[in-house]
């Protein structure tokens, strides 16, 4: 049985919808039909229940109650349910006033709010605790665990494996060991506990893809700390969780978050720092701004298309394959600013004063107008307004070999503009690319709506000054 996050999310949504609805029914019966509270006339039942259920599910999503759940504390989850419910009930406090206008209600709205809060925590919290208990039992029985690799030295890997085996509810199904160096073919044999040595660090990308690995646990000796960057680099670009044993915390201070269950501590490398509600708002802003700009800018886009067509033969729009989030390719759309035969010799780096650029293309690039069709990519979800610039697959592979952690840029949606674009000049050498990667990684580790707004304002400032294409 394969327990995917989609399946887990569906079950959790159904559970929450049922318990929220049940909580509303109990609250309604007490408030309207119990006789304890005098209400006249009787308020509607179904429409308020539907609206409130939708609002609760939305709020749960925004605070992160639908993120993947593995080895999480039920007490922590119940605490988050309580805090979220308290926040929602404070908002509903004002709705109760509106709903009770023109009716005769005995107790105050605050008493009703406290009643509803208690019922919600009891039903929703209780429902989730029951569901998580069932899920833990399934994990202990071997159902739904994440395929996992343990990377490290022989002694440390064996020790970590034994700890993982003691706590099956952590959700790790170890499918192999990976050594720091590629072992000889004869050394790739089963150990007495039934787990194979699958290869060395260089084999990680192939193993992750072939075995559908979801988690990589890192167990290094003190003398092997320098290999951590190599391991993280090999795993970059794949949707896997990376966790290390606690004694390595000092070398990644500020970039890790401790996850300790059953007294078994692990440290997650580069956890998702952007809260779910900010992720949702970021996408809402992307869709709103791109749709508005495409509609309002239509006359300008038409004029640009005509000018491009009059100046040189070829299509108005230029499509090119780029690598998107999690390595998924997509076709980026831009106004054509080069001659149609610009890449007759194959893929080439763009230059600051590129001779392939047309006269109209020069001004489009200088004013960044060639980038505006990418708003369609933003609208479709391929890109965001702010993020690392997407690169061509051939260059991604080249740069990944030269620049450590380059593929970590693929953890987020690429953007029309980014921190690297407003902080660094045009790419003229591999050193420029390396510098921009540093800025991109800084952005990924510090993503927030505040930072996005700062980048967008800086981009507008650069465009108004007419600074070069970046």
* Segment 106-156, tens digit of pLDDT: 455 567 778 888 999 999 999 999 988 888 888 888 787 889 999 988 888
Sort strands 317-323 and 329-335 into parallel, antiparallel or unpaired: antiparallel
The residue ranges of DSSP E strands in 190-336, in sequence order, are 197-200, 215-219, 241-244, 256-261, 264-269, 317-323, 329-335
Phi, psi of 398 (to 5 degrees): -65, -45
Most confident among 158-162, 373-377, 433-437 (mean pLDDT): 373-377
* Nearest Cα to Cα of residue 261 among 125, 80, 82, 77: 77
Q: Domains in the chain and their CATH numbers?
A: 5-140 (no CATH), 146-269 (3.40.50.720), 276-464 (no CATH)
Confidence band, pLDDT 50/70/90 cuts, at residue 160? confident
Q: Has residue 2 got a pLDDT over 50?
A: no
The residue ranges of DSSP E strands in 306-424, in sequence order, are 317-323, 329-335, 384-386, 415-417
Q: Is 142 exposed, middle or buried (0-12, 13-18, 19+ CB in 10 A)?
A: exposed
Q: pTM of the predicted model, to two decimals?
A: 0.67
Phi, psi of 144 (to 5 degrees): 85, 5
Q: Has residue 18 got a pLDDT over 70?
A: yes
Separation between Cα atoms, residue 376 and residue 372, nearest integer Å: 8
Separation between Cα atoms, residue 244 and residue 221, nearest integer Å: 11
Least reliable range by pLDDT among 37-51, 100-114, 204-218, 283-297? 100-114
Mean pLDDT of 68-94: 78
Q: Has residue 72 got a pLDDT over 70?
A: no
Tell me how far the alpha carbon of residue 89 is from its chain's centroid.
29
pLDDT at 40: 63
């Amino acid at each position: 049985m394969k327990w995917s996050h989609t399946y887990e999310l569906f079950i959790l949504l159904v559970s929450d919808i049922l318990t929220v609805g049940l909580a509303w029914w109990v609250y309604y019966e007490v408030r309207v039909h119990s006789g304890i509270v005098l209400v006249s006339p009787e308020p509607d039942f179904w429409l308020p229940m539907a609206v409130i259920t939708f609002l609760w599910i939305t709020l749960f999503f925004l605070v992160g109650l639908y993120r993947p759940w593995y080895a999480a504390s039920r007490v922590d989850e119940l605490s988050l349910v309580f805090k979220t419910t308290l926040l929602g009930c404070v908002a509903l406090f004002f709705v109760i006033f509106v709903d009770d206008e023109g009716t005769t209600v005995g107790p105050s709205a605050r008493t009703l709010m406290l009643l509803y809060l208690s019922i919600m925590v009891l039903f929703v919290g209780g429902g989730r605790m029951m569901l998580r208990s069932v899920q833990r039992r399934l994990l202990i029985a071997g159902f739904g665990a994440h395929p996992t690799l343990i990377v490290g030295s022989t002694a440390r890997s064996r020790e970590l494996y034994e700890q993982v085996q003691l706590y099956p509810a952590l959700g790790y199904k170890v499918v192999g060991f990976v050594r720091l160096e590629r072992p000889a073919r004869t050394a790739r044999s089963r150990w007495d506990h039934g787990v194979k040595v699958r290869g060395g660090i260089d084999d990680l990308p192939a193993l992750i893809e072939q075995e559908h690995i979801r988690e990589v646990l890192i167990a290094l000796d003190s003398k092997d700390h320098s290999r951590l960057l190599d391991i993280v680099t090999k795993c970059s670009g794949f949707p896997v969780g990376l966790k290390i044993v606690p004694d390595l915390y000092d070398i990644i201070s500020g970039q890790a978050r401790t996850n300790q269950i059953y007294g078994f501590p692990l440290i997650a490398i580069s956890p998702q720092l952007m809260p779910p509600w900010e992720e949702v708002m970021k996408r809402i802003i992307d869709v709103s701004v791109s749709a508005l700009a495409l509609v309002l800018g239509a006359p300008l886009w038409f004029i640009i298309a005509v000018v491009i067509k009059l100046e040189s033969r070829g299509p108005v729009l230029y499509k090119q394959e780029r690598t998107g989030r999690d390595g998924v390719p997509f076709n980026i759309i831009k106004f054509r600013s080069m001659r149609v035969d610009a890449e007759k010799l194959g893929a080439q780096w763009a230059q600051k004063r590129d001779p392939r650029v047309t006269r109209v293309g020069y001004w489009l690039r200088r004013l960044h107008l060639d980038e505006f069709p990418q708003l369609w990519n933003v609208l479709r979800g391929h890109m965001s307004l702010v993020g690392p610039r997407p690169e061509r697959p051939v260059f991604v592979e080249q740069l990944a070999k030269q620049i450590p952690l380059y593929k970590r840029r693929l953890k987020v949606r690429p953007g029309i503009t980014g921190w690297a674009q407003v902080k660094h000049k045009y790419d003229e050498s591999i050193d420029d690319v390396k510098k921009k990667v540093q800025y991109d990684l800084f952005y990924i580790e510090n993503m927030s709506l505040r930072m996005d707004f700062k980048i967008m304002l800086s981009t507008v400032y650069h465009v108004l000054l007419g600074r070069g294409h970046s």
